[in-house]
Amino acid sequence: MSQKLFDNEIFFAAYRKLRSEKNYNDLLEQPAMRRLLPGLKGKAVLDLGCGYGCGSLFLAQSGAKRVLGIDLSEKMLDVAQKDFCHPLVEYRRMDMEDLSQLTEAFDLVYSSLAFHYVEDFLKLAKDIYRLLKSGGVLLFSQEHPIVTATMNCKGHYNLSQDGEYASYTFSDYGRGGKRIGHWFIDGVENYHRPMGEIVTTLSQTGFRIEALVEPLPEPWAVSEKPDLAKEYIKPTFLIIKAAK
């Protein structure tokens, strides 16, 4: 992930505003991720693409004995150090593509919505497998492949005559690779991988897939943010739990 998306001033300000409002991460992705977390008591955790560190802090507060949160963005880590510090959490600036630099072993490798920025998923899977203790768990979320599919990043919902969200249109699902789109700013890069590539790569690396989740919002979340009902049309997130 060579782009420093989260260090771009305009992107950073817009992203920070998004995360301060009612958002899909807090209402949909995080509840689903937390349901899948293994017991954390006494565990060593690696948080890949930790961003602000809210996930790392939660993991430490939930009993982990140590959390190493890595992220590429200085700005995100500045916020993490300031607002999400904890004696058991260490934040370190590092690219997810440089995991070979790490030598310690972890019980859990956790990553929230970061893997779609990584170009070489096989390398990432192998690095994570190496860093996990036997019986250790990988739990990650990413954008759903239906969302990342369209080459110009312009998959879109269609409205009915009544103005209700009715369907979703996409393309290029079978063409894996880089996508360059607009998210607050132009030129945001991510990588589309079809579901089969993700699952089969993990399996061939040695992981046992324990759960594959396309989260649906709970009723309380839809009443907080009615837009979440769109998840019944097409999924936004993919979550996978896999064991070594």
* Binding range to its own copies, per CB under 8 A, among 42-50, 77-85, 92-100, 160-168: 160-168
Q: Is 66 helix (H, G, I), strand (E, B) or coil?
A: strand
Q: What is the DSSP letter of 27?
A: I
User: Which listed range, 54-62, 70-78, 179-187, 210-218, lies at the site for its own copies (CB under 8 A)?
Assistant: 210-218
The burial of 100, by beta-carbon neighbours within 10 Å (0-12 exposed, 13-18 middle, 19 or more buried), is given as exposed
Measured from the CB atom, the residue of 34 and 92 that comes closer to its own copies is 34
Query: By CB under 8 A, is residue 153 in contact with its own copies?
Result: no
Pairing mode of beta strands 44-48, 89-93: unpaired
Q: Is 35 in the site for its own copies (CB under 8 A)?
A: no
Closer to its own copies by Cβ: residue 81 or 223: 223
Kindly indicate which of the ranges 17-25, 86-94, 98-106, 227-235 contains the residues binding its own copies, using the contact rule CB under 8 A: 227-235
Task: Decide: is 166 part of the binding site for its own copies (CB under 8 A).
Answer: yes
- Per CB under 8 A, 233 contacts its own copies: yes
C-alpha–C-alpha distance, residues 68 and 72, integer Å: 13
208 binds its own copies (CB under 8 A): yes
Question: Applying CB under 8 A, does 174 fall inside the site for its own copies?
Answer: yes
Binding mask 119-138 for its own copies (x = CB under 8 A): --------------------
Q: Which stretch binds its own copies (CB under 8 A): 8-16, 56-64, 119-127, 192-200?
A: 192-200
The sign of the dihedral angle between the CA atoms of 156, 161, 167, 171 is negative
CA–CA distance, 223 with 215 (Å, rounded to integer)? 16
* Angle between helix 9-20 and 74-83 (nearest 10): 40
Cβ atoms of 158 and 167 within 8 Å: the answer is yes
The residue whose two tokens read 């324990």 is 210
Instruction: Give the residue, chosen from 150, 192, 205, 244, that forms a contact with its own copies under the rule CB under 8 A.
Output: 150
Q: Which of 51, 48, 133, 136 is nearest to 97 (CA)?
A: 48
- Where on the chain is the footprint of its own copies (CB under 8 A)? 146, 150, 158, 166-175, 194-196, 199-200, 203-204, 208-214, 216, 231-235
